[in-house]
Structure 1
Amino acid sequence: MASTSTPSLPLQTGARNTSFPSSPTTKPFHANLHFPFSLPLTQLIAPVKSSRTAKYNEVVMDEEMDKIRRLQNGSDVRGVAVEGERGRTVDLTPPAVEAIAESFGEWVISGLEKEEEVKVSLGRDPRISGASLSVAVFAGLARAGCLAFDMGLATTPACFMSTLLPPFLYDASIMIIVNAGNGSGGFFTWDVLDKLGADTFGSLNLHPDGMFPNHIPNPEDKVAMALTRAAVLENTADLGIVFDTDVDRSGVVDNARNPINGDKLIALMAAIVLREHSGATIVTDARTSLALTRFITDRGGHHCLYRVGYRNVIDKGVQLNEDGIETHLMMETSGHGALKENHFLDDGAYMVVKIIIEMVRMKLTGSEEGIGSLIKDLEEPLESIELRMNILSEPQHAKAKGAEAIETFRDYIKEGKLPGWELDSCGDCWVSDGCLVDSNDTPASIDAQMYRAKVSDDENGQHGWVHLRQSIHNPNIAVNMQSTIPGGCHSMTRVLRDRFLIESGMDKVLEITQIDDYAKSGCV
């Protein structure tokens, strides 16, 4: 989590000087450690020049460069930093991180074109690799000529806000359970809610522990949600909150112990936002339900389905606003969500604050209903499954093979080889061909191939959808399906297997065991 920042605590670095004004004189630049790979990757490692070893060094250089390139995942840098994950070796090493950080620092300096020192703040979450990788980042930034500042344990939104605004607070007079999952979110209990008078007795896992001894810090994790629901019941709380490790995602539990995440959380935020901004557009990833689209349109909003990936969803909202389409909420089913009013930042704590404010507003009007009442008419899909197909290829060729399989899927649908299957589109936002292709004047680049097909038949009309998505992080393809009729997912899986995967020969490129098992048994 790195961002250029107004400084708070300087470190000893190799920067050019340590004298600078207390506030930046130019617009701050934000990067959240989503390193730009539009810059030449040859800047990452300087090759050694030698008449005797030049050819050998070129080979070594190419190998090291390829390893570093594979750490890029969309707009992030991701890898394994600590031994222990089965089947994966450590690739996010301090030398690689230092090289990337140096290149990042040089890119920031070049982009800002400032005469004074470029200042970069760095925060981390409690993961046990944080300390060693932070040292590597500081070393790389210093070598680039940046002045680096250690924010220590910090949330991703806090790193962003270090470039923009002082803290702001909200009032509450309610009982709230916070489950921080031993990540960075414990502060929200004692530094925000407690000081504002909320009763947070019974909150869970508030103290950071990079081994995460109780459960995965993830609002989609079933254990996290179960523990939070139990705490809400035991303490008769008005609300339960679940944060992820660095608090850029959240989920909630209402006073009736109902978990609110995925489509439900998007619907809840949409209900709040559309009350404030009538007629606004809501951008989500293309794995959301047909019922969510109806929920949004019934409240006067517009629903733009877009590519999976929180950066894709948020960037689409930025683009729509630039094109004159009022878009106030961008949210992915994973819990990543951003608001226009909050600088398009995915900030789990800010989302929760919006929910708390709405809950207090309801209480002040005399309502005894919990926050869940805002989504009581949201229908849930009758069936919903996710299956995976591993790509049968060497790692360096997996992305190309996966793209080939998904493009073949698109061609089969467009050529009418799958009767009743049609590439989806939303119509209002210049997104067509399975919610992937931007048809406006400035289409966004594609980071991973994916398409969504809506499925219909004469008896039931449109009753479901199938979404194929190439994973950015792993060599596999995710298959998501939803259906509004009994047996719909099973039927769609059989068609996918028999009429596409086997008929096209893609079953030789993809390992389809999960597809085959579900097609035979109807059980995941």
Structure 2
Amino acid sequence: MDSKDFLKLQNGSDIRGIAIEGIDGEHVNLTSEAVNKIAQSFALWLSKKTGKDISALRIGIGRDSRITGENLAYASVAGLSYCGVHVIDCGLSTTPAMFMSIVFEETNFDGSIMITASHLPFNRNGLKFFDKDGGLEHEDIRDILENSCNFKEKSQPTNAERFDLISLYAGFLSNKIKKELDSLSQQENDGKKEKPLSGLKILVDAGNGAGGFFVSKILDELGADTTGSQFLEPDGTFPNHIPNPENKEAMESIQSAVLKNKADLGLIFDTDVDRMSAVLPDGSEVNRDAIIALVAAILAPDYPNSTIITDSVTSDRLTRFLEKDLGLKHHCFKRGYKNVINECKRLNAEGIVSPLAMETSGHGALKENYYLDDGAYLAVKIIIALAKTRAQGKTLSSLIEKLEPLLEAEEVRYKITAEDFASYGDNVLAEFKARAEKAGLVMPKSYEGVRISFDDSEKKGWLLLRKSLHDPVLPLNIEGERAGSAKKILQEAEKLLAGFDKLVR
């Protein structure tokens, strides 16, 4: 592989590739050899950044449940061992845990690698990297990939240290729950102090990813009734459903389990547990805008008048809830979890308090938790809120009861057939905006693409036309706040897009 081949593996601030042949004619490009070289390149990059000799570095390796994970983890270990790195094999882990391995005193790694492709099909895999500053940036990944072709595959005998990171991480989360609920336990009885979740029925759907530990090592240990939890066993073929909180089948599965088992709360994680969503006792999904609203409502008392950062496809309904009902500010930024996280860091550095950066996909990073997008930590915050609202005679749903329900939503993805799809997409957006301005349409400030709001006798709602982060596509997101509005807003958008012959719906 040359540098161009390696660069094809870049997916924003991650590395993603095909690890198993034969699906839709795709050929493997994330080979053990490639991963071996990438790991060596990461070690050199980390050495330069930290100023440490490579032989002084401590790097942890973890993986999710994918069937190619073990081989690719071994390839990473071999490459790092050849460089002289002290390698710690953390086995089955989660993406947030791999970052926390740099924070925990018991591990204190200089860097870490997580072998995962998040929610992508089982034939894919990838790598995420961390150092003390968090996940690496787009430019860092590019540097590592460009340099990877300068290394040779090395099969180095290794006696990598083994470490049960997931238990350490689970203990950290359990202690968070115990500490937050300690006052409630004292009020009731001392016997509940070690089992603060007794009396609560909480179900988890791990989608056969890496999230099953949340039941056995946290909820069960703290006294929750987890009967009805499902797909906790790691299985990289994902036989039950895609481990993705945004997947309709996955969400319907956890909704059904919550209703069947009469649970107080349902939690669903993606494969590597950096994303999550929830389900209320009546089967209502707490997803997209609602999950952002819930977490913001939990944080609002501790961070009054603060700013919540979201991606660009959040709704006007969410803005009204955050600003009018919670007294917060809504900063609707760009798509991409690194984008919202970095914006959150920037605002806080400037003295503008921002406790949360969250995408509608379920990526949520809290300032109090190292700006780490951690699905399990978000779940902990929601569980604590569940216990506290119950002690007050309220329900968890009461925190977001003023969030207006979603009425109509559509997404249309226009494929760009032009060879230079990036430039063509920019031209379309510029003309789309010019036409909207000429038509006198209302366009709120947008950090990405073109957003238009509608509120007239025929339609009420909004649209956002933007460029995809990685694909030759212009996604059009629409939300109608009055019956029939979504269809009429789409018709308006189609008029503004007329004449672009390189766009295919």
TM-score normalised according to structure 1 size: 0.75
> How many aligned positions are there?
416
Distance 1:418 1:357 in 2: 51
Quickly say closer, same or farther: Cα 1:418–1:207, change in 2 above 3 A: farther
Per the TM alignment, residue 185 of structure 1 is displaced from its structure 2 partner at its CA by: 0.6
Contact 2:459 2:484 in 1 (8 A): no
- Structure 1 residue identity aligned to 2:378: M
Q: Does 1:382 align with 2:382?
A: no
Distance 1:302 1:274 in 2: 11
Q: Does 1:111 align with 2:49?
A: yes
RMSD: 2.1
Q: Does 1:348 align with 2:403?
A: no
Distance 2:460 2:426 in 1: 22
Distance 2:29 2:389 in 1: 50
- Structure 2 residue identity aligned to 1:86: D
Distance 1:202 1:458 in 2: 47
Q: Does 1:129 align with 2:52?
A: no
Q: For 1:293, what is the secondary structure of its paired residue?
A: helix
Aligned to 1:75: 13
Per the TM alignment, residue 305 of structure 1 is displaced from its structure 2 partner at its CA by: 0.6
Aligned to 2:485: 488
Q: Does 1:203 align with 2:236?
A: no
Contact 2:295 2:382 in 1 (8 A): yes
Distance 1:146 1:418 in 2: 61
User: Which of 405, 413, 426 matches 1:406?
Assistant: 426
Per the TM alignment, residue 500 of structure 1 is displaced from its structure 2 partner at its CA by: 2.5
- Structure 1 residue identity aligned to 2:272: D
Contact 1:471 1:478 in 2 (8 A): no
Per the TM alignment, residue 417 of structure 1 is displaced from its structure 2 partner at its CA by: 5.8
- Structure 2 residue identity aligned to 1:303: H
**Percent of aligned positions that are identical:** 41
Q: For 2:208, what is the secondary structure of its paired residue?
A: coil
- Structure 2 residue identity aligned to 1:363: R
Distance 2:82 2:498 in 1: 51
Quickly say closer, same or farther: Cα 1:456–1:228, change in 2 above 3 A: closer
Structure 1 gap segments, 5+ residues each:
1-60, 426-433, 437-450, 513-524
Higher deviation after alignment, 480-489 or 406-415: 406-415
Quickly say closer, same or farther: Cα 1:483–1:418, change in 2 above 3 A: farther
Quickly say closer, same or farther: Cα 1:390–1:360, change in 2 above 3 A: same
Distance 2:362 2:254 in 1: 16
Distance 1:197 1:221 in 2: 30
TM-score normalised according to structure 2 size: 0.78
Residues 474-506 of structure 1 show CA distances to partners (whole Å, capped at 9, x for unaligned) of 33332211222333333333333333241xxx3
Listed as ranges, the matches of 1:299-310 within 5 Å are 299-310=326-337
Q: Does 1:511 align with 2:504?
A: yes
Per the TM alignment, residue 268 of structure 1 is displaced from its structure 2 partner at its CA by: 0.5
User: Which of 258, 261, 274 matches 1:232?
Assistant: 258
- Structure 2 residue identity aligned to 1:319: R
Structure 2 gap segments, 5+ residues each:
105-167, 178-195
Q: For 1:160, what is the secondary structure of its paired residue?
A: helix
Aligned to 2:188: none
Aligned to 1:289: 315
Contact 1:101 1:137 in 2 (8 A): yes
Per the TM alignment, residue 422 of structure 1 is displaced from its structure 2 partner at its CA by: 4.9
Aligned to 1:156: 95
- Structure 2 residue identity aligned to 1:498: K
Q: Does 1:277 align with 2:303?
A: yes
Per the TM alignment, residue 172 of structure 1 is displaced from its structure 2 partner at its CA by: 1.6
Aligned to 2:206: 180
Contact 2:463 2:479 in 1 (8 A): yes
Contact 1:414 1:423 in 2 (8 A): no
- Structure 1 residue identity aligned to 2:289: D
Distance 2:81 2:367 in 1: 34
Q: Does 1:263 align with 2:286?
A: no
Distance 2:496 2:211 in 1: 48
Quickly say closer, same or farther: Cα 1:151–1:494, change in 2 above 3 A: same
Residues 371-424 of structure 1 show CA distances to partners (whole Å, capped at 9, x for unaligned) of 12211221134321111122325xxx5xx4134323431344146565244543
